Amino acid sequence: MTDLFNFTTSDLSAISLSLKVAVWSSVIALPFAIAIGWFLARTRFRGKALLEGLIHLPLVLPPVVTGYLLLIILGTNGIIGKWLYDLTGIRIAFSFYAALLASVVVSFPLITRSIRLAIELVDEKYEEAARTLGASRLKTFLSITMPMASPGIISGFILGFARSLGEFGATITFAGNIEGETQTLPLAVFSYMQVPGQDTATFRLVMISVILSLLAMIVAEFLNRRAINRSRK
């Protein structure tokens, strides 16, 4: 029973890796998601459906397929990856950055969807009023649109974070299962399950996974409430 709380170094590295990847991928994806979310919500152009489709692709594709596609494009022998490797010697696949990229790609559509919806729900009439008062489009966006859409932006961020914590298929395909470098929590659980007699170890990690996810949801709810209250009071 005491084994349950005996965290090994590989356990700890899996946990810290998962957290690092989740935080960084959400932080990196957020500004792009805000920009694209605003773009999709507020502009009209030919081929918009195509762009929407492309962005939502990782949402519907099996994560392993997403990982495979990433490999084809950015792997060392990939379309872009080969050119990048020849030019700079940089190898993306099977590294921490691959795990990061995989997370960004799969969580991006979720964050974007949430932000786009939140922006669509902001009545353009307020933006018009701001413009007549002398605000530039950027000022209008920062002072009116974003604050009014903030509950949706926060939800999007947390959703992306949670998705990233649970990312498996794309990570293992594109980043591999390298302990200490790309073996995030889900990958570690999977690996431990393959080895007989590692039930306690497995359960240890499962426990942490559940706690992290619960915490993420609680923080999300708290931030959401606070944003809603601030816009009401």
Partner 1 sequence: MKNVIEFQSRLSRGAFQFDMKCSFGEGITGIYGPSGHGKTTLLQLISGLLNPDNGRICIGGKVVFDNEEKINIPSRYRKLGVVFQEGRLFPHLSVEENLRYGEKLLPKSQRQIQFDDVIATLEIGHLLQKKPEQCSGGEKQRIAMGRALLSSPQMLLMDEPFSAVDVTLREQILIYLVRIHRKYRIPMLVVSHDLPDILRLTDEILMVRDGYVEAFGKYLDLVLSRKMKPNGSGEGLLNVVSLYVHEVDEKRGITTLTGEQGTRKIKVHCEACSEGVALGREVKVSVHPGDIAISLHPVPDISIQNQLEGTIRQLLQDSGQVVCLVDVGFPLLVELTKSSTDRLGLKEGDRVFCLFKSMSVKVCEID
What residue ranges bind partner 1 (CB under 8 A)? Answer: 125-126, 128-136, 139, 143-144, 147-148, 230-233
Indicate the residue among 73 and 142 with the shorter CB distance to partner 1.
Answer: 142
Shortest distance in whole angstroms from residue 132 CB to partner 1 = 4
Shortest distance in whole angstroms from residue 226 CB to partner 1 = 13
Indicate the residue among 82 and 139 with the shorter CB distance to partner 1.
Answer: 139
Among positive and negative, which fits the CA dihedral 174, 178, 183, 187?
positive
Indicate the residue among 3 and 128 with the shorter CB distance to partner 1.
Answer: 128
Shortest distance in whole angstroms from residue 115 CB to partner 1 = 17
Indicate the residue among 1 and 138 with the shorter CB distance to partner 1.
Answer: 138
Q: What's the rounded Cα separation, in Å, for the pair 120 and 115?
A: 9
Shortest distance in whole angstroms from residue 85 CB to partner 1 = 47
Among positive and negative, which fits the CA dihedral 168, 173, 174, 177?
positive
> Nearest Cα to 118, choosing from 71, 87, 154, 82?
154
Q: What's the rounded Cα separation, in Å, for the pair 186 and 172?
A: 10
Q: What's the rounded Cα separation, in Å, for the pair 109 and 102?
A: 12
